[in-house]
Chain A
Amino acid sequence: MKEILSIKNLRKHFPVKNAWGTDVALVKALDGVDLKIESGKTFGVVGESGCGKTTLMRTLLRLVEPTSGSVILSDEIIGNEVSSNKLEELTGDELRSFRKQIGVVFQDPMGALNPRMLIKDIVSEPLAIHGRTENVRARVIELLENVGLGEEHLYRYPHEFSGGQRQRIVIARALALDPKILVLDEPTSALDVSVQAQILNLLNDLQKKYDLTYIFISHDLSVIEYMCDRLAVMYLGRVVEEADTEELFSNPQHPYTKALLSATPSFDKKKEKIMILGDVPSPINYLDESKAKLATEITEQEKLEINAIEGKGIDYIVRSSLNEVVPLVQISDGHFARVK
């Protein structure tokens, strides 16, 4: 196993201030995340909205500064001649050369493409920013052909393309600087299943061709299962379970993972259902202890739902019971979970 980057105890706490500017609470978007990302493989991150997936992606790109912890980069990404292999210590040119190595594909392709720019300008923009001025046109055509588009698309605007084609353009742009890592933030959730299949096939082809490492963020477990080699399940800023995909799908340990797997709609009607009751708890941690207690109490809605569901033969988990901090333990080789 060759690591391309590893994340050590990464924390990002956003302070919540009151009207006088004093901190009253912390939003723990990332609360001690440890991950090792293997080179040439696809690493998946799953979790529901507000669990910190996107903050993790942003800290990896250093778009937000982490509160503590570090991202350790391998030589493969930054080379040998840098002052430090820690992402948070990089500055200036070193940071720029690091950012060349990491491409991003966002969820909504129309939002990621400037509607007033031609496709050739969109795809060549990263080249211009990083000072590559030779053979730009040939390079852009090569990139477009890589993703199944061609020279005839150079002088068109984003609105002239369908959703799947737009996502292809975003992928072409992300690959413009020959990155080693591609961060894919829900790349197919805005697409239909048939188009999704095309994009997933394309991503697999590109990975083989360029030996890319993917960090794949999604909430669609069937896509995750198809794409990823290794998987981390996040819940409220913490990784609650991490394992190889097959292991995780066949032998989930953490109650949240179990519920997530059973909540995914499937064609198998007999599959056992575990419902999670209540809404996603607020990630706000009050510094005042009396308020902090609220987070772990069973809410009125959960009580109601328990009453509604009991006696119907449906297993359930009360969501606030998942808030407890349990240390990560090793279940088997390479399989970690926060279970007692």
Chain B
Amino acid sequence: MLEIENLKTNFNTYDGVVKALDGVNLKIEDGEIFGLVGETGSGKSVTCYSALKLLPKTGEVVDGTVKLNGEDITNASDERLREIRGGEIGIIFQDPLSALNPVMTVNEQIGEILVLHQNKEIQGLASEKEIPIYKSEKWKASPGVEFTIMAFCISFISLFVMLGQWGFSLPFLLVILLMFFRDYVQKDNPVSALDLMVIEALSRVKLPNPEQIAHSYPHELSGGMQQRVMIAMALAGKAKMLIADEPTTALDVTIQAQILQLIKDIQKEENMSVLLITHDLGVVAETCERVAVMYKGKIVEEASVDEIFTNPKNDYTKGLLNAIPKGSKERLKVPNLEEVRTS
């Protein structure tokens, strides 16, 4: 599915060049859950951002090739990349609340992706069911804006009445009346094709009353629900591959179990590939089939999950596994990172 070969990424900083990735080789097969583990700064996230060309301006990919389904996307055009991001590859980020736009409803945010990546399907659905594609929203403003408009109108009306020219106040009177009877003047449009598709996307991630959730803002939802909305967004473009960048770090363990179960279920249903980036070895042990351990911009070990936890080969992996408290009260072994660096 996704093949990364000898990827090298540098960051140019004031203190010199930082080699964030130093020759990363990864191969993610169709329909597997692949784990990428490592500590802060090991280059897990940079790998996925480099592959999708989402690096900040200071970073640049120096060397290497990225292949998606056999197609070389290393030098792909911006248009093609835009099709891939959100279309073929969906991404979930760590903190759902900062990844969701706080001033857009869930409906608008998922709708945006559908319009960009599923336009034909929306039009097809619209012509099939003979409903409009988009819903023309009723004229609507926040209560503060409405109050201000009302206050302006009333003050102008009173001004003109005082001046004796009350004929001029008629248009303002009309505005006030229209605001009161807006609901009768503008009729509710029937459901649009876009709405139906948003609701379908939300029900795929097992959210209750998708109609209601579609009209709420991110802050009105709980952490687990926000992460579900993020997953719905990532899947909305009919993604064949899902990149989950620390999807459960901001959540409680019980909610984490729910979200991981959901990712596993969806992966099975749609036979997707999932790249799970995490620092929690337990999460990897539970969800993934194969796993790669990263350290200092390199993959130090790649193996199946059973193999890596029962029989780790690399010193760093061993150190990492030893550092996790495992029930006994013995003193924890701190991995000697200096040694790993030289080996």
Interface range, A side: 35 or more
User: Given A194, A276, A300, which contacts B254 in the complex, CB threshold below 8 Å?
Assistant: A276
Q: Is the CB of A225 within 8 A of B334?
A: no
Which A-chain residue is minimally distant from B41 (CB atoms)?
A192
Please, what's the 1-or-0 string for A191-228, where 1 marks a CB less than 8 Å from any CB in chain B? 01110111011001000000000000001011101110
Q: Which of B16-24, B76-84, B169-177, B318-326 contacts A (4 or more CB under 8 A)?
A: B318-326
Chain B residues with CB below 8 A from A163, complex form: 40
Chain A residues with CB below 8 A from B223, complex form: 49
Which B residues from 55 to 113 make CB contacts under 8 A with A?
Answer: none
Chain B residues with CB below 8 A from A102, complex form: none
Q: Is the CB of B253 within 8 A of A193?
A: no
Q: Is the CB of A308 within 8 A of B206?
A: yes
Alpha-carbon distance A304/B280, docked complex (angstroms): 29
B59 to A: closest C-beta gap in Å: 22
B229 to A: closest C-beta gap in Å: 13
B208 at the interface (CB under 8 A from A): yes
User: Given B207, B208, B253, B255, which contacts A221 in the complex, CB threshold below 8 Å?
Assistant: B253
User: Given B40, B285, B326, which contacts A269 in the complex, CB threshold below 8 Å?
Assistant: B285
Q: Is the CB of B334 within 8 A of A303?
A: no
Q: Is the CB of B222 within 8 A of A193?
A: no
Please, what's the 1-or-0 string for A114-144, where 1 marks a CB less than 8 Å from any CB in chain B? 0000000000000000000000000000000
User: Given B279, B282, B329, B335, which contacts A226 in the complex, CB threshold below 8 Å?
Assistant: B329
Q: Is the CB of B282 within 8 A of A279?
A: no
Q: Is the CB of A273 within 8 A of B257?
A: yes
Knowing A193-B279, A266-B282, A279-B255, the reply to whether A201 touches B261 (Cβ < 8 A) is: no
Chain B residues with CB below 8 A from A331, complex form: none
B225 to A: closest C-beta gap in Å: 7
A67 at the interface (CB under 8 A from B): no
Q: Is the CB of A267 within 8 A of B327?
A: no
B252 at the interface (CB under 8 A from A): yes
Which A-chain residue is minimally distant from B283 (CB atoms)?
A265
B209 at the interface (CB under 8 A from A): yes
Q: Is the CB of B323 within 8 A of A266?
A: no
Give the dominant DSSP class at A's interface. helix
Which B-chain residue is minimally distant from A48 (CB atoms)?
B252
Which A-chain residue is minimally distant from B325 (CB atoms)?
A226
Q: Is the CB of A201 within 8 A of B206?
A: no
Alpha-carbon distance A192/B316, docked complex (angstroms): 14
A329 at the interface (CB under 8 A from B): no
Alpha-carbon distance A192/B334, docked complex (angstroms): 12
Q: Is the CB of B208 within 8 A of A301?
A: yes
Chain A residues with CB below 8 A from B324, complex form: 193, 197, 222
A26 to B: closest C-beta gap in Å: 20
Knowing A192-B279, A194-B334, the reply to whether A225 touches B327 (Cβ < 8 A) is: yes
Chain A residues with CB below 8 A from B319, complex form: 194
Interface range, B side: 35 or more
Which A residues from 37 to 53 make CB contacts under 8 A with B?
Answer: 48-49
Chain A residues with CB below 8 A from B222, complex form: 279-280
- Which of A49, A197, A222, A269: most chain B CB closer than 10 A? A197
Alpha-carbon distance A225/B257, docked complex (angstroms): 19
Q: Is the CB of B208 within 8 A of A197?
A: no
Alpha-carbon distance A309/B258, docked complex (angstroms): 11
A183 at the interface (CB under 8 A from B): no
Q: Is the CB of A197 within 8 A of B282?
A: no
B286 at the interface (CB under 8 A from A): yes
B46 at the interface (CB under 8 A from A): no
Chain A residues with CB below 8 A from B320, complex form: 193-194
A274 to B: closest C-beta gap in Å: 9
Which B residues from 125 to 175 make CB contacts under 8 A with A?
Answer: none
Which B-chain residue is minimally distant from A276 (CB atoms)?
B254
Chain A residues with CB below 8 A from B332, complex form: 197, 200-201, 226
B281 at the interface (CB under 8 A from A): yes
Please, what's the 1-or-0 string for A76-112, where 1 marks a CB less than 8 Å from any CB in chain B? 0000000000000000000000000000000000000
Of the A-B pairs whose beta carbons lie under 8 Å apart in the complex, a sample of 27, sorted by A's number, is: A192-B39, A193-B281, A193-B320, A193-B323, A194-B323, A196-B323, A197-B325, A197-B333, A222-B326, A226-B327, A226-B329, A260-B253, A260-B254, A263-B253, A265-B253, A265-B256, A265-B282, A265-B286, A269-B286, A276-B257, A276-B258, A279-B222, A279-B224, A280-B222, A301-B207, A303-B208, A308-B206
